[in-house]
A and B are shown apart, each in its own frame.
Chain A
Amino acid sequence: MDQTFLVNVFGSCDRCFKQRALRPVFKKSEQLNYCSLCVEIMAADGLHENETLASLKSEAESLKGKLEEERAKLHDVELHQVAERVEALGQFVMKTRRTLKGHGNKVLCMDWCKDKRRLVSSSQDGKVIVWDSFTTNKEHAVTMPCTWVMACAYAPSGCAIACGGLDNKCSVYPLTFDKNENMAAKKKSVAMHTNYLSACSFTNSDMQILTASGDGTCALWDVESGQLLQSFHGHGADVLCLDLAPSETGNTFVSGGCDKKAMVWDMRSGQCVQAFETHESDINSVRYYPSGDAFASGSDDATCRLYDLRADREVAIYSKESIIFGASSVDFSLSGRLLFAGYNDYTINVWDVLKGSRVSILFGHENRVSTLRVSPDGTAFCSGSWDHTLRVWA
Chain B
Amino acid sequence: MSSRQKMPVINIEDLTEKDKLKMEVDQLKKEVTLERMLVSKCCEEFRDYVEERSGEDPLVKGIPEDKNPFKELKGGCVIS
- Chain B 1-28 near chain A by CB (<8 Å), digits 1 or 0: 1001111111111000110111111011
Once the chains are docked, how many angstroms separate the CA of A216 from the CA of B9? 11
Query: Which of B17, B59, B63, B71 is A53 in contact with, Cβ under 8 Å?
Result: B17
- Chain A 252-275 near chain B by CB (<8 Å), digits 1 or 0: 000000000000000000011111
Once the chains are docked, how many angstroms separate the CA of A215 from the CA of B9? 10
Question: Once the chains bind, are B60 and A308 in contact (CB under 8 Å)?
Answer: no
Once the chains are docked, how many angstroms separate the CA of A253 from the CA of B11? 21
Residues of A within 8 A of B56 (CB): 334-335
- Chain B 61-76 near chain A by CB (<8 Å), digits 1 or 0: 0110000111111000
Query: Which of A225, A274, A289 is B31 in contact with, Cβ under 8 Å?
Result: A274
Q: Which A residues from 319 to 356 make CB contacts under 8 A with B?
A: 333-338, 353-354
Distance in Å: Cβ of B40 to nearest Cβ of chain A:
4
Knowing A315-B42, A337-B57, say if A380 contacts B25 (CB, 8 Å): no
State the majority secondary structure of interface residues on B.
helix
Residues of B within 8 A of A116 (CB): 69
Distance in Å: Cβ of A174 to nearest Cβ of chain B:
17
Residues of B within 8 A of A310 (CB): 36-37, 42
Question: Once the chains bind, are A334 and B53 in contact (CB under 8 Å)?
Answer: yes
Knowing A67-B28, A394-B63, say if A335 contacts B50 (CB, 8 Å): yes
Residues of B within 8 A of A71 (CB): 36
Knowing A215-B7, A379-B58, A381-B59, say if A77 contacts B70 (CB, 8 Å): no
Q: How many residues of chain B get a CB closer than 8 Å to chain A's CBs?
A: 59
Question: Once the chains bind, are B70 and A134 in contact (CB under 8 Å)?
Answer: yes
Question: Once the chains bind, are A335 and B42 in contact (CB under 8 Å)?
Answer: no
Knowing A53-B21, A56-B21, A310-B42, say if A337 contacts B50 (CB, 8 Å): yes
Of all chain B residues, the one with the shortest Cβ separation from A340 is B59
Q: Which A residues from 293 to 327 make CB contacts under 8 A with B?
A: 293-294, 308, 310-313, 315
Question: Once the chains bind, are A86 and B51 in contact (CB under 8 Å)?
Answer: yes
Question: Once the chains bind, are A333 and B12 in contact (CB under 8 Å)?
Answer: no
Distance in Å: Cβ of B48 to nearest Cβ of chain A:
10
Knowing A217-B7, A312-B34, say if A56 contacts B39 (CB, 8 Å): no
Residues of B within 8 A of A (CB): 1, 4-13, 17-18, 20-25, 27-32, 34, 36-40, 42-47, 49-54, 56-60, 62-63, 68-73, 77-78, 80
Contacts A77-B43, A238-B12 given; 10 further ones with Cβ under 8 A? A59-B25, A74-B36, A76-B40, A97-B68, A116-B69, A228-B7, A231-B8, A337-B54, A338-B60, A379-B58
Sorted nearest first, the 9 A-B pairs with minimum C-beta distance are: A216-B12, A335-B53, A63-B28, A97-B70, A335-B57, A82-B43, A56-B21, A310-B37, A335-B54
Residues of A within 8 A of B (CB): 49, 52-53, 56-57, 59-60, 63-64, 66-67, 70-71, 74-79, 82-83, 86, 89, 93-94, 97-98, 116-117, 133-136, 189, 192-195, 215-217, 219, 225-228, 231, 233-238, 271-275, 289-291, 293-294, 308, 310-313, 315, 333-338, 353-354, 374, 377-381, 392, 394
Q: List 7 A-B contacts (CB under 8 A).
A: A82-B43, A136-B73, A216-B11, A228-B5, A231-B8, A313-B36, A313-B39
